[in-house]
Amino acid sequence: MGKRTIIPFGPQHPVLPEPVHLDLVMEDEKVVDVIPSIGYIHRGLEKLVEKKEYTEMVYVIERICGICSFGHGWGASAVIEGALGIEAPARAQYLRTIWHELSRVHSHLLWLGLLADGFGFDSLFMHCWRIREHVLDLFEKTTGGRVIFSVCKVGGVRKDIDAMTLKEIVDTLNSLKPEIEEVAEVFRKDASCRNRMVGVGTLSYDDAVALGAVGPVARGSGVVQDMRLTGAGVYDELGFEPIIETAGDCQARTEVRIREVFQSIELIEKAVAMIPDGPIEVPAKGNVENEFIMRMEQPRGEAFYYAKGAGSKFLERMRVRTPTNQNIPALVHMLKGCDLADVPILVLTIDPCISCTER
């Protein structure tokens, strides 16, 4: 047995845009144990329920994370709608689904770029982010914001998208398809990508289930788990089927996300074709009496929202459990036994969102 060394990883690290800290216990080049420590971004925003009314809480929850901000806005609105016993009208549900899938496209492209950056493939990083900018332009055009939208509210959405703009969204996404295809081919075929990903950090089906992995991490290991199957939004009407890969390594997780980009584009296309006319909001009035649980499929996996009212405009509890939180045990498991050089790639393949985790 070699001598054990502890190498600190983070909180300020070139591959991480956000701070997370891992203590890596090393034996020579191999990681034998990992102790994650978080808390650098802990703000305590769940406690703001005491100071903000439930309609205002949507803004706060949306700012948990700037990447999946639409999903958080939707989750917070939906859970309060559930507790109030109201339902957003059909057109609002379609619009929410379109925006949510758009944010999945932008989030996965962002992540693909970060992954390429993680193994030093800078031109690939730049291309992913170049394509992503077109998606952000669509957001800016429809909501007014690039990363924080505040377009979801309790009872519906704030803005409608007219038919012309809907068509433009589909046209833009279709024109991006060949470019995304080109980038995806590099991730799939290029030796410098494959060497860093194939067979690295394999998570078996059983481990993925036992460790409670969610999102693309679980689906990359063959677990059929996608919260879009729970009936939120209009995914049932669109005939949604989750994307599953079975290899369980970094390549499989990447492949899940690449295929999800194309799937999201298809879903948006279908939603635009099927969107009904009608109102985009119902009034949200009264006090919250009940408790309700809502789960949404964020780009990173299952997010959990729990709202409990106490008969006033202020909620008693608003709990958000984000996907990264649930994936940390799986990450710790994957890191054990890997090489030091693979640590950044492995940390990236769970698509960590630390702002989400710590709230």
Q: Which 192-211 positions form the footprint of another protein (CB under 8 A)? A: 209-211
Q: Measured from the CB atom, is 166 or 333 closer to another protein?
A: 333
Instruction: Work out how close the CB of 289 gets to another protein at its nearest, in angstroms, rounded to a whole number.
Output: 13
Instruction: Work out how close the CB of 333 gets to another protein at its nearest, in angstroms, rounded to a whole number.
Output: 9
E-assigned strand segments in the chain: 4-9, 21-27, 30-37, 152-153, 156-157, 291-298, 301-309, 315-321
For the record, the structure tokens of 189 come out as 């075929």
Does 343 interact with another protein (rule: CB under 8 A)? Answer: no
Q: Measured from the CB atom, is 269 or 340 closer to another protein?
A: 340
Does 222 interact with another protein (rule: CB under 8 A)? Answer: no
Instruction: Work out how close the CB of 228 gets to another protein at its nearest, in angstroms, rounded to a whole number.
Output: 10
Of residues 254-293, which lie at the interface with another protein (CB under 8 A)? 291-293
Alpha-carbon 137 to chain mean position: 19
User: Residue 277: is it exposed, middle or buried by C-beta count within 10 angstroms (0-12/13-18/19+)?
Assistant: exposed
Contacts of 78 (CB under 8 A, 6+ apart): 88, 232, 294, 296, 305
Greatest alpha-carbon span in the chain:
69
Of residues 61-90, which lie at the interface with another protein (CB under 8 A)? 63-67, 69, 82, 87
Binding residue for another protein, selected from 294, 335, 343, 346, defined by CB under 8 A: 294
Q: Which stretch binds another protein (CB under 8 A): 152-160, 193-201, 273-281, 305-313?
A: 305-313
Q: Are 110 and 350 in contact (CB under 8 A)?
A: no
Does 219 interact with another protein (rule: CB under 8 A)? Answer: no
- Report d(CA 48, CA 60) in Å as an integer: 8
Per-residue mark of binding to another protein, 153-192 (x: CB under 8 A): ----------------------------------------
Instruction: Work out how close the CB of 198 gets to another protein at its nearest, in angstroms, rounded to a whole number.
Output: 27
Does 229 interact with another protein (rule: CB under 8 A)? Answer: yes
In degrees and rounded to multiples of 5, residue 33 shows phi and psi of -150, 155
Contacts of 136 (CB under 8 A, 6+ apart): 106, 146, 147
